[in-house]
Amino acid sequence: MRHEHIISAKQLSRADIEEVLDHAAEIAADPEAYADRHAGKLLGLLFFEPSTRTKMSFTAAIKRLGGDIVDMGPVEYSSVKKGESLADTVRVVEGYADALVMRHPSEGSAQMASEFVDVPLLNGGDGAGQHPTQTLLDLYTIRENAGLDDLTIGIMGDLKYGRTVHSLAHALTNFDVHQHFISPESLQLPRSVRYDLHEEGATIREHTALEEVLSSLDVLYVTRIQEERFPDENEYREVAGEYQIDAGALEAASDDLTVMHPLPRVDEIDHDVDDTEYATFFEQAHNGVPVRMALLDLLLEGQ
């Protein structure tokens, strides 16, 4: 790839995306062919926030490529608790690894950290900002189930604080896709994201009810209302549980609808949806391994 760091979905062109997705498909078809591809390489993990899927799938990805990890571990047991700056932390860890993955609660932290390191840095989520590697596995899942052109996609839930939403919405502007955004008025897309999407040629269609658009959707991307992002607990309580779907709610949907969720879920998708043909969110999570294998392979080969 032509990029040294993967910080935002906004930096990815259609060609970049297709390169990663095509390579991921090759890896998924014959993972054993890549088993020793990066033997001896180390991936540094710096997770300042909790993570299950991102952290574990990156770990699985580098190990399936023949490499291994060095992990900063929980923040409370690191030098961050002694007052070490983020710049110093990443400078130190880059000396131990060939590439870095970082998750941090502050928006813009990944961009800042990338300015202090020479090894590839991948943004594993920066607050309410971006989550580009999640977007790549989301696009891979969409392509496997519905293609990536001539689609109508609904994105529902926390659009204000949802970094997966911000990344995906930007990336989808590279394709022939109609995007609909469904949320409470208090959780609509931030003005800055809306402006950027307009600049990229996207038409913003906003709704407060899924019923307004469900029957026309090829893909429904559901997100959790993120309690940890709200500065005011009362604001969270006003919208918690407001957007929920179950198998009955999907009766008006197309038979070919693909329902996605970046996980974890709380109560926004009932477990009875899991047994329908619509559900792809566990497949989506599993796709994180071949997609992140492909991304690491391309970045490490490009060093």
> Do 61 and 117 lie in a common domain?
yes
Determine whether the annotation assigns residue 237 to a binding site: no
With a cut of 70, say whether residue 137 has pLDDT above it: yes
Range(s) of the domain holding residue 277 = 133-285
Q: Are 168 and 226 found together in one domain?
A: yes
Q: Are residues 124 and 9 in the same domain?
A: yes
pLDDT of residue 133: 98
User: Are residue 22 and residue 96 in the same domain, yes or no?
Assistant: yes
Mean pLDDT, the chain, rounded, equals 93
Q: Residue 17, class by beta-carbon neighbours within 10 Å (0-12 exposed, 13-18 middle, 19+ buried)?
A: buried
Identify the active-site residue in 5, 55, 103, 166: 103
Q: Which residue has the tokens 């911000």?
A: 166
Residue 82 annotated as lining a ligand binding site: yes
- Indicate if 179 and 217 belong to the same structural domain: yes
Same-domain status, 281 and 142: yes
The annotation status of 163 as a binding-site residue, yes or no, is yes
pLDDT tens, residue by residue, 151-200: 999 999 989 988 999 999 999 999 999 999 999 888 899 999 999 999 99
Q: Are residues 222 and 280 in the same domain?
A: yes
Query: Does 27 share its domain with 82?
Result: yes
Quick one: pLDDT at residue 129? 87
The residue ranges of DSSP E strands in 227-281, in sequence order, are 258-260
One-letter amino acid at 13 equals S
Please state the domain count of the chain: 2
Residue in 5, 38, 131, 170 annotated catalytic: 131
Same domain, yes or no, for 20 and 88? yes
Whether 5 sits among the annotated catalytic residues: the reply is no
**CATH code, 168:** 3.40.50.1370
Q: Are residues 29 and 161 in the same domain?
A: no
pLDDT at position 231 is 66
190 and 159, same structural domain? yes
Please check if 53 is assigned to a binding site.
yes
Give the span between the Cα atoms of 193 and 12, in whole angstroms: 16
